[in-house]
Amino acid sequence: MTNKYMGMPKPQEAIISKRIALDPDSIAGYILLLGILLSISLAVIGLAWHFAVEGNLWVNYTIVGVNFAGFLQSIIRDLVSGPLRPELLISSSIAVLMMTPYVRLLFSLFYFAIIDSNWKYAILTSICLFILTYSLFAD
């Protein structure tokens, strides 16, 4: 009897043998994807909540803080001490969106310095991380 797959794995074996790639590029992509999805979810929930309460999508509030550090500090303080509000969810979505590339750079630095021991890319990533840190948190 001849093998109709001619040396190829059977379809069910091919499906079972597929695995999710966990190389550093995929992990960095998942970090960016999760950050964006979380940010969008917080914004949509905040806008839907605001629409349910106010009847319109016009959100009128000021962003507290001179730089991103002050903005992030005010969000954390409001999350811990105050009641949850639609504006707070929308502000949180902005903070998550702004922190997403920062977290990706932290992961890349960890990967290049600790796992891969690629010092050239670790130094380049450190420079990028320094510039991003300075631009987010400097006055």
The structural domain count of the chain equals: 1
| pLDDT score, position 40 | 98
The verdict on residue 56 lying in a domain is: yes
Are the C-beta atoms of residues 69 and 136 closer than 8 Å to each other?
yes
| pLDDT score, position 60 | 82
Are the C-beta atoms of residues 73 and 63 closer than 8 Å to each other?
no
Cα(126)–Cα(97) distance, integer angstroms: 21
The verdict on residue 122 lying in a domain is: yes
| pLDDT score, position 43 | 95
Residue 96 burial by Cβ neighbours in a 10 Å radius (0-12, 13-18, 19+)? buried
The CA–CA distances, whole Å, from 106 to 5, 22, 122 equal 46, 17, 10
Those residues of the chain that have pLDDT short of 70 are 1-21, 64-65
Q: What are phi and psi of 32, to 5 degrees?
A: -65, -45
* Residue type for position 88: L
| pLDDT score, position 74 | 87
| pLDDT score, position 17 | 47
Q: State pLDDT tens for residues 12-35.
A: 555 544 555 578 888 999 999 999
Burial 45-80 (b: 16+ CB within 10 A, else e): ebbebbeeeeeeeeeeeeeeeeebeebbebbeebee
The residue behind tokens 């190829």 is 8
The verdict on residue 16 lying in a domain is: no
Cα(109)–Cα(123) distance, integer angstroms: 8
The verdict on residue 115 lying in a domain is: yes
The pTM for the full model equals: 0.77
The verdict on residue 15 lying in a domain is: no
Q: Which two tokens stand for residue 33?
A: 């994807």
| pLDDT score, position 56 | 86
